[in-house]
Amino acid sequence: MNSLELKYGCNPNQKPARVFMQDGSDLPIEVLNGRPGYINLLDALNGFQLVKELKAATGLPAATSFKHVSPAGAAIGLPLSDTLKKAFWVGKKELSPLACAYARARGADRMSSYGDFISLSDVCDASTASLISPEVSDGIIAPGYTDEALTILKAKRKGGYLIMQIDPDYVPAEIEHKDVYGVTFEQGRNNYKIDSSLFGNIVTENKNIPESALRDMIISLITLKYTQSNSVCYAYDGQAIGIGAGQQSRIHCNRLAGSKADTFFLRQHEKVLNLKFKKGIGRANRDNAIDVYLSEYWEDLLADGAWQETFAERPEPLTTEEKKAWLSSFNGVSLGSDAFFPFSDNIERASKSGVKYIVQPGGSIRDDLVIDACNKYGMAMAFTGMRLFHH
């Protein structure tokens, strides 16, 4: 099939809409269930590139959770601790490596992953499908599905869940095109390969980067390669834990990513794990409630009794001092930036969220100030010399 009709374009008024192959060849994708939209396809094709590269770079199954053409989370299939299983609401059952990757990708930023599009590097198995089943999601793309997984997924959204299959061996043309306001842009595809060979130029006094940090730095860069710029990604324990995307200022990207990383860690605090919700409160409402519980507005909700709408009992506040103490127990976080850091304020912010390892292109006239800031905190920083803008 050379062409695929879509529901509509970016917005319902943008009709007709379709995707097609300009060279007349068959599309590398097949719709197994549901009907895709324009943004669904953008998420699917960007997301699959991301997980395919993660799998190639690490040798492990990978998953990503996309929203509006940027990832909310991305991860590889490392086993989950009991704490992460509880924080991600996956129960105590044994999970396949692919299911672990999906749980991590979805659990990185559950607020942003609401209504996401999922991309998997491997054939979707029943273990992974069973985790996807209760989540609010628009669709999924993978190289294939087991019969059991397909049955589980086809039951979502009253049978309308979008399920797509992609040819994992498809190789796109080297030149790509994009139309904006009737003008066609042409450029070579970004085939820049991201692996451990990039980290040879360590510019800080601390030059010790362990294998686990190298892995996380790779994850951060591959994630950034498919994130709307400007972008910054915090990674830890085999997954992205905070992604700041599409901000005009890099420090705002960094603050956003760091704030999300802090929330990721705080969700693992004993007080959060033991929150008592009312019966019938859905996952999305629980996510919203946890976000508010961790916010500066929580004391106001305690005062006016609004907590009773969600919680079965009055939650004990997580104090500012407790938050600081908990966050200080996490370190060894890796941070990637899609372009250079022009000011040392980015390093100051990163230090507050346990960042120990940084990878960025380098090339700013203030590189010396940024390096000095890293040395101040004992961080190791590598320059790659390669920018990763994505638009």
**CB neighbour class for 206 (10 Å; exposed up to 12, middle 13-18, buried from 19):** middle
Do 260 and 111 lie in one domain? The reply is no
Do 74 and 40 lie in one domain? The reply is yes
Q: What is the pLDDT of residues 19-38, one digit of tens each?
A: 999 888 999 999 999 999 99
In this structure, is residue 341 part of a structural domain? yes
pLDDT average, residue stretch 325-350: 95
Amino acid identity at 292: V
Whether the Cβ atoms of residue 55 and residue 97 lie closer than 8 Å to each other:
no
Do 225 and 134 lie in one domain? The reply is no
In the chain, % of residues over pLDDT 70: 100
How does residue 299 score in pLDDT terms, banded at 50, 70 and 90? confident
Task: Give the CATH number for residue 76.
Answer: 3.40.140.20
- Joined together, the tokens standing for residue 235 give 């990674």
In this structure, is residue 185 part of a structural domain? no
Do 69 and 152 lie in one domain? The reply is yes
In this structure, is residue 143 part of a structural domain? yes
| CA-based nearest residue to 119, from 105, 131, 130 | 105
* Spatial distance between the Cα atoms of 331 and 351, rounded to a whole number of angstroms: 9
In this structure, is residue 179 part of a structural domain? no
Do 63 and 148 lie in one domain? The reply is yes
| Backbone torsions φ then ψ of 283, nearest 5 degrees | -60, -45
Measured over the CA atoms of residue 33, residue 121, residue 128 and residue 287, the dihedral's sign is negative
In this structure, is residue 204 part of a structural domain? yes
Do 73 and 197 lie in one domain? The reply is no
Q: Which residues form the catalytic set?
A: 67-68, 230, 391
User: Based on the structure, what is the number of domains in the chain?
Assistant: 3
pLDDT average, residue stretch 270-290: 92
List, in sequence order, the alpha helices (H) in the chain: 38-58, 82-87, 97-107, 110-113, 126-132, 147-154, 211-225, 250-266, 270-273, 283-293, 298-304, 320-328, 345-351, 367-376
Do 249 and 301 lie in one domain? The reply is no
In this structure, is residue 19 part of a structural domain? yes
Whether the Cβ atoms of residue 17 and residue 40 lie closer than 8 Å to each other:
no
- Joined together, the tokens standing for residue 264 give 């990721």
In this structure, is residue 210 part of a structural domain? yes
Do 142 and 164 lie in one domain? The reply is yes
Task: Give the CATH number for residue 286.
Answer: 1.10.287
Predicted confidence (pLDDT) at residue 128 exceeds the cutoff of 90: yes
- Joined together, the tokens standing for residue 256 give 């956003």
Do 138 and 236 lie in one domain? The reply is no
In this structure, is residue 390 part of a structural domain? no
The domain boundary residue, chosen from 171, 202, 221: 171
* Spatial distance between the Cα atoms of 224 and 303, rounded to a whole number of angstroms: 41
Q: What is the pLDDT of residues 60-83, one digit of tens each?
A: 999 999 999 999 999 999 999 999
Do 148 and 129 lie in one domain? The reply is yes
Q: Which residue segment(s) compose the domain that 230 sits in?
A: 192-266+327-383
Do 90 and 234 lie in one domain? The reply is no
What pLDDT shows up at residue 263?
96
Instruction: Indicate left, alpha or beta for 340 from its phi (over 0: left) and psi (-120 to 50: alpha).
Output: beta
Do 161 and 93 lie in one domain? The reply is yes
For the whole model, what pTM was predicted?
A: 0.96
* Spatial distance between the Cα atoms of 294 and 190, rounded to a whole number of angstroms: 39
Instruction: Indicate left, alpha or beta for 14 from its phi (over 0: left) and psi (-120 to 50: alpha).
Output: beta
What pLDDT shows up at residue 301?
73
Measured over the CA atoms of residue 138, residue 144, residue 146 and residue 147, the dihedral's sign is positive
What pLDDT shows up at residue 91?
87
